[in-house]
């Protein structure tokens, strides 16, 4: 990856995506962050420090018109990374699970990356990297939809690696990572739940956004990696 490389991070307004944006900025890259919340994107730009090589655009990856409009802005991009994955409605007993919530998760986690691949491919020069998750390997009661979505996304990665070659298509699969989404998942119990998981993991702690940013960066810049899933979970798959 050269100093002129341009990476678009969908989901770059917070968490892992924001950490990746900071890492790439520090490596002298041009970075665009995109997401559904303009306020969050503007706050992210302010936190990163406004710079001529840092841009932001609103996009809803569940809306094809929005995705098409985003990629119509570009003649070329080097890398696209998708970390957007709002799974707050993805948990609950299957007997009571609303179909509308099911479709919302599938739209964001599976069809969203599919739409990104569809509209990014004509302008993308090097790689597309998406975000899977530990639920595909360690499902839990009440998490059938999240497990299904992550597993399906990994199937999509393998198919896209063939169809879009020589573009490289990969996934990074996080375990439990201390990001703001845990405030919604666990509320006041966040620290307790993350501490309990840290005690179970061979790695001795839960992940930090910087851990995942390093993994995304490594995947993006490896020219011989495609159709792969890189696990960054502290050993969660082993316990």
Q: Has residue 238 been placed in a domain?
A: no
Instruction: Tell me how many domains the chain contains.
Output: 1
User: How much is the pLDDT for 179?
Assistant: 85
Taking every pair of Cα atoms in the chain, the longest distance, rounded to a whole number of angstroms, is: 52
Sign of CA dihedral 94, 100, 105, 110: positive
**pLDDT tens-digit series, residues 72-128:** 999 999 999 999 877 667 788 999 999 988 999 999 999 999 999 999 999 999 999
Is pLDDT of 40 > 50? yes
- For the stretch 127-165, pLDDT in tens is 999 999 999 999 999 999 999 999 999 999 999 999 999
pTM for the predicted model, two decimal places:
0.94
Distance CA 85, CA 106 (A): 10
User: Is the per-residue pLDDT at 33 higher than 70?
Assistant: yes
30 found inside a domain = yes
Tell me if 97 is assigned to some domain. yes
Strands 168-174 and 124-131: parallel
Q: What is the CATH number of the domain that holds 76?
A: 3.40.50.720
Residue 237 lies in a domain: no
Q: Tell whether 209 is covered by a domain.
A: yes
Domain membership of residue 185 (yes or no) is yes
pLDDT digits (tens, 9 = 90+) for 188-216: 788 999 999 999 999 999 999 999 999 99
pLDDT score, position 85: 76
Name the nearest CA neighbour of 131 among 183, 169, 89, 184.
Answer: 169
Domain interval for residue 117: 6-231
Residue 1 maps to a domain: no
pLDDT band for position 23 (cuts 50, 70, 90): very high
Where b means 16+ CB within 10 Å and e means fewer, 152-176 reads bbbebbbebbeebeebbbbbbbbbb
Q: What is the DSSP letter of 195?
A: H
- Domain presence at residue 154: yes
Number of other residues whose CB lies within 10 A of the CB of residue 47: 12
């Amino acid at each position: 990856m050269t100093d002129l490389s341009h990476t678009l991070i969908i989901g770059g307004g917070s968490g892992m995506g924001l950490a990746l944006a900071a890492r790439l900025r520090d490596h002298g890259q041009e970075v665009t962050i995109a997401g559904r919340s303009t306020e969050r994107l503007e706050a992210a730009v302010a936190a990163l420090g406004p710079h001529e090589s840092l841009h932001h655009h609103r996009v809803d990856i569940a809306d094809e018109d929005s995705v098409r409009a985003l990629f119509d802005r570009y003649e070329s991009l080097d890398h696209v990374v998708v970390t957007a994955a709002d799974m707050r409605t993805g948990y609950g007993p299957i007997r009571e699970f609303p179909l509308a919530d099911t479709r919302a998760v599938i739209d964001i986690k599976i069809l969203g990356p599919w739409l990104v691949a569809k509209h990014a491919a004509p302008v993308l020069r090097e790689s597309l990297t998406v975000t899977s998750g530990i639920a595909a390997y360690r499902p839990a009661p009440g998490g059938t939809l999240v497990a299904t979505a992550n597993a399906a996304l990994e199937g999509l990665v393998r198919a896209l690696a063939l169809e879009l070659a020589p573009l490289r298509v990969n996934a990074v699969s996080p375990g439990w990572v201390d990001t703001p989404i845990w405030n919604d998942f666990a509320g006041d119990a966040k620290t307790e739940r993350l501490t309990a998981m840290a005690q179970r993991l061979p790695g001795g702690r839960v992940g930090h956004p910087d851990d995942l940013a390093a993994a995304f960066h490594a995947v993006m810049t490896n020219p011989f990696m495609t159709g792969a899933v890189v696990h960054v979970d502290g050993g969660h798959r082993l316990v």
